[in-house]
Amino acid sequence: MTGVRLPLLRSMALFAMLFSTPGFAEERKSDAPSKAEVEAKLTYCKTCHGLSGQGFRGASPMPRLAGQQPEYVQNQLQAFIERQRTSPVMFNVAHVLKPGMLEALAEGFKDLSPKPLGGEPKELIGAGKKIYEEGVPDAKIAPCATCHGPEAKGAGGFPRLAGQLHDYTSRKLTNWDKERGQDRAKPDASPIMEPIAHGLTAQQIAEVSAYLGSLE
């Protein structure tokens, strides 16, 4: 597995460098919004992401935010603001938020823990668990658990995947380079996942997505 882990470790080092610099941290500092302002904005977010932040299936799957790592939520909101990540809806939502509100929203979703929305194909869960825990050595893909943890709850800038809508996860992996890291002149953490997303087959994506959707 050495050939799998070295590129991953280099990517993780890049991730740490990008998001631990003083300049990046300073950009996040701001006067904290009032409790009422935060509650109002959380309620607004839940219009699309579900009343408990558990995700929602409408015209397209809206991701679960409940229990998500706050640092990851902040990073993604900033990516929408800077158009590093594509979504016309989320750009309009995020670009009006001040740094203090980004932090407050991320913290607001952290402690929510509703049951997963469900709906994943049960017959794919076993194969998905194997990919998550063991990777795909033939394709030089390391275990997902290496970064996202044995229970898929993430850590720091690495997102929680447990309980995420399987169809949302599948879409994001399938369209990774069309939606993430869109400004190559300003690299973010997206390159860590790009070769992994590209290395998985459509069937493997469906399998690991199903497994993640089944976790609490």
Q: What is the mean pLDDT of residues 90-111?
A: 94
Compute the Cα dihedral for 93, 95, 98, 102 and give only its sign: positive
What mean pLDDT is reported for the chain? 88
The pTM score is 0.83
Residue 183's pLDDT band, with cuts at 50, 70 and 90, is: confident
What whole-number distance in Å separates Cα of residue 208 and Cα of residue 211? 5
Largest CA distance in the chain: 52
What whole-number distance in Å separates Cα of residue 93 and Cα of residue 100? 15
Q: Alpha helices, DSSP H only, in the chain? A: 2-19, 22-27, 35-49, 70-81, 88-94, 99-110, 125-134, 145-148, 166-174, 176-179, 194-199, 202-214
Q: What is the mean pLDDT of residues 162-168?
A: 98
pLDDT at position 148, please? Answer: 97
pLDDT at position 188, please? Answer: 77
What whole-number distance in Å separates Cα of residue 208 and Cα of residue 126? 9
The domain of 113 spans 2-214
DSSP secondary structure letter of residue 98: -
Number of domains in the chain: 1
pLDDT at position 191, please? Answer: 85
CATH of the domain at 11: 1.10.760.10
Q: What is the mean pLDDT of residues 202-207?
A: 98
In the predicted structure, residue 163 carries a pLDDT above the cut 70: yes
Residue 3's pLDDT band, with cuts at 50, 70 and 90, is: low
Q: Exposure string (b/e) for 78-116, b if CB count within 10 Å is 16 or more?
A: bbbbeebbeeeebbebbeebebbbbbbbbebbbebebeb
Q: What is the mean pLDDT of residues 5-30?
A: 49
